Amino acid sequence: MIATEPYRPKQFNLSGLKGISDRTLEMHFKLYEGYVKETNNLNERIAEFLKDGKVDQDEMPLYSELKRRLGFEFNGMVLHEYYFGNLKKGGGSEPARSSAFLKAAEASFGSYDVWKADFVGVGKMRGVGWAMCYEQPETGRLSNHWISLHQIGEVAGFNPVLVMDVWEHAFLLDYTPAERPKYIEAFFSNIDWTAVEARLKAKRGATVSR
Ligand SMILES: [Fe+2]
């Protein structure tokens, strides 16, 4: 696809979260805007190559590098939108008993607590990346995965439902690197479970197959 319109940064009103300071969020929004800008920049440069309708052999090294960087920058943009989009002031630490998310977690892991232990475990993994809870669209089952950087370890075809940034910039102004578990706890106390649930694609109320 040749982008005809540049992407615009989305706005998120997250002031007043518990355990994640406004200062952190302001810095984080600026970083996110950098990914949007760089995605647009790469798309423009890639479109330049295609103006003559082909990619010449001598263009391949630069073209390849731009394409690789697009995976990083584009996912950097999109994952931050999922992340900010699943937080809210006044968010709760557990989904409602009757919620489709809770039912999916129970059907997939036996209980919400086991699902959470797995997700938190992924979040504590050493390295730079993201903890992801995906929904497998065909079955409605939930599955937690680690993404290195922004793009390594994405599960093709799975639907991101809950997304947690565990790059150190997400918490370094509030916690030390060794205090990542405290940040994860803070993240959980601000989850917008309504937004998470709205991302589920399997039919609401349908039995999740095991
Ligand atoms: Fe981030």
pLDDT digits (tens, 9 = 90+) for 14-52: 999 999 999 999 999 999 999 999 999 999 999 999 999
Residue 129 Cα, ligand 1 centroid: separation in angstroms?
A: 9
Average pLDDT over every residue of 81-88: 98
Confidence at residue 205, expressed as pLDDT on a 0 to 100 scale: 45
Query: Which SS3 state, helix, strand or coil, does residue 191 take?
Result: strand
Confidence at residue 209, expressed as pLDDT on a 0 to 100 scale: 52
Distance of alpha carbon 142 from the chain centroid: 15
Residue 118 Cα, ligand 1 centroid: separation in angstroms?
A: 21
Residue 83 Cα, ligand 1 centroid: separation in angstroms?
A: 8
- This prediction has a pTM of 0.94
Closest CA to 161 of 129, 124, 128, 136: 136
Amino acid at 89: K
What are phi and psi for residue 126, nearest 5 degrees?
-70, 145
**How far is the CA of 107 from the CAs of 7, 24, 92, 94, 112, in angstroms?**
37, 36, 21, 16, 9
Residue 164 Cα, ligand 1 centroid: separation in angstroms?
A: 9
